[in-house]
Amino acid sequence: MIHNYNSEDKVLLAVDCIIFGFDEEDLKILLVKRDFEPERGKWSLMGGFLKRNEDLDQAANRILHHLTGINNVYMEQLYNFSKVDRDPVERTISVAYYALINIAEHKQELTENYSAKWFSFSEAPQLIFDHDRMVQHAIHRLRYRTSTKPIGFELLPEKFTMRQLQKLYEAILNDKLDKRNFINKINSLDILLKLDEKDMNSSRKGSFLYMFDEAKYKKKIADGFSFRL
């Protein structure tokens, strides 16, 4: 057993937040312009260092709120990144968190007081250090989750069209889905309530609106779920 902690190497522990957003049309990623060296002025994930008096989850929420104003977002721990030379200043291990949020619900928090900005995921700039690698890990995890969990309940308006739901999956998967197959698959899950209302903005005839059946939705998650398109 090692008794002398003072003889051990000390390393910094960072936390980086990968925030994806959906705006009913496109998958986006939230980035912040770095305001200190190295790489000052370049785009980065929201990152900072763990404090002595907090755990990792608390650090992730503090960092996200400090850099973006966004609060009360559930983030899931993703992976740790520990290459010796990943940070050119100090030996630093980073624990990455990720989340997928509804952009419209956080517009009031993300004001001009912050340098954070939404980018279309397909047009995002190159990031500092190994942050691009972190993002790739996160998008792979997110795409896997679409096959194990009904995504959409927290991301779409209370009432939505089938087209909006399909656009969400297409944005995450970065793939064009067959409309008929998608509708059949969604209907087979039995988690939607078809309303008598229509969205008249989508076409002359309009498109029926749907709502998630929350009870069935949660039961699907509890029972286990398979949704492979």
59 and 89 co-located in one domain? yes
CA 209-222-157 angle, 5° bins: 25
| pLDDT per residue as tens digits for the range 77-129 | 999 999 999 999 999 999 999 999 999 888 888 888 888 999 999 999 999 99
Question: Pseudo-torsion of CA 28, 171, 26, 184, nearest 10°?
Answer: -140
> Has residue 1 got a pLDDT over 70?
no
Q: What are 119's strand-pairing partners? A: 29
Q: Considering the domain boundaries, does residue 211 fall inside one? A: yes
Report yes or no: 23 and 157 within 8 Å, Cβ to Cβ. Answer: no
pLDDT for 82: 97
Q: Considering the domain boundaries, does residue 229 fall inside one? A: no
How much is the pTM?
0.89
131 and 219 co-located in one domain? no
Q: Please give the structure tokens belonging to residue 76.
A: 């899931």
Which of 81, 110, 145 finishes a domain? 145
Confidence band for 14, pLDDT divided at 50, 70 and 90: very high
Which of 145, 180, 196 finishes a domain? 145
pLDDT for 98: 97
117 and 167 co-located in one domain? no
Which of 145, 178, 194 finishes a domain? 145
Q: Residue 25 belongs to what domain range?
A: 5-145
106 and 13 co-located in one domain? yes
